[in-house]
Amino acid sequence: MNNSNSKKAISVLSGGLDSTVATSLLADEYEIHAITFDYGQRSAKMEIKSSKAICQKLGLKHSVIELPWLALLGGSALTSQETVPELEMNQLDDKEICEETAQKVWVPGRNVVFTSIASSFAEAEGAKKIIVGWDLEEAATFPDNSKKFLDAFNKLLKVGSMDDVQIEAPLIQMNKKEIVKMGEKIGSPMNISYSCYMGENKHCGSCESCMRRKRAFEFAGVQDQTHYYK
């Protein structure tokens, strides 16, 4: 346990749109140590590349945490050779379709593991906050992005931590369009964020993550400046 009074935070940074904006939003408020997880996902190389670039841009400390065992559990198209589902833009609000695709890309216990590890970093470094990019839109099909999950984990930390560590999810009530608008307003480096499930050098443009990103920028009326698109 570190009793330093400096205002520190740990960011769980995937290099994606949401975690990039969430981290940018609080970058002036905290001394942030961003951690990115390599758990054998297809997009690990690009997520790490993007996260490093974002941290360099924002002047943050960055570490990569390897969790190879998480991929060995199986059950997800993100960590196996199973086909990653593709969606059309008009299917993004179809709850049944999105629940089906969510099941295929679900990584067992991912945010439980990530947030637990982040809490260890927080205690060790005297950080009072863990920054995450959980949002309202993804919470519709991914329960570990929800306000209910956030509140439950914060209750757990009150019991299980010897420090006053809490998760801060500044985007928890926002959809992707609102996140893009916020990112544009604060000058977040969204242009170097990476959102694709496939992990190629360029966004595939057809997986659910790519489609949600495309729609968000379109609905927000903001041009996506990323060079990761084909």
C-beta separation of 17 from 195 below 8 A: yes
pLDDT of residue 98: 87
Q: What is the pLDDT of residues 201-210, one digit of tens each?
A: 999 999 999 9
Weakly modelled stretches of the chain, pLDDT under 50? 1-5
Q: CA 216 to CA 175: how far, in whole Å?
A: 8
Residue 107 has which token pair?
A: 């990584």
pLDDT of residue 227: 67
Residue 69 has which token pair?
A: 């065992």
pLDDT of residue 5: 45
Q: For residue 32, give the H/E element and its range.
A: strand 31-38
Of 153, 199, 146, 195, the residue nearest 173 (C-alpha): 146
What does CATH list as the number for 8-220? 3.40.50.620
C-beta separation of 131 from 101 below 8 A: no
Residue boundaries of the structural domains of the chain: 8-220
Q: Which pTM was predicted?
A: 0.93
Instruction: Report angle CA 115, 119, 121 to the nearest 5 degrees.
Output: 115
SS3 of the chain: helix, strand, coil, percent, to 5: 50, 15, 40
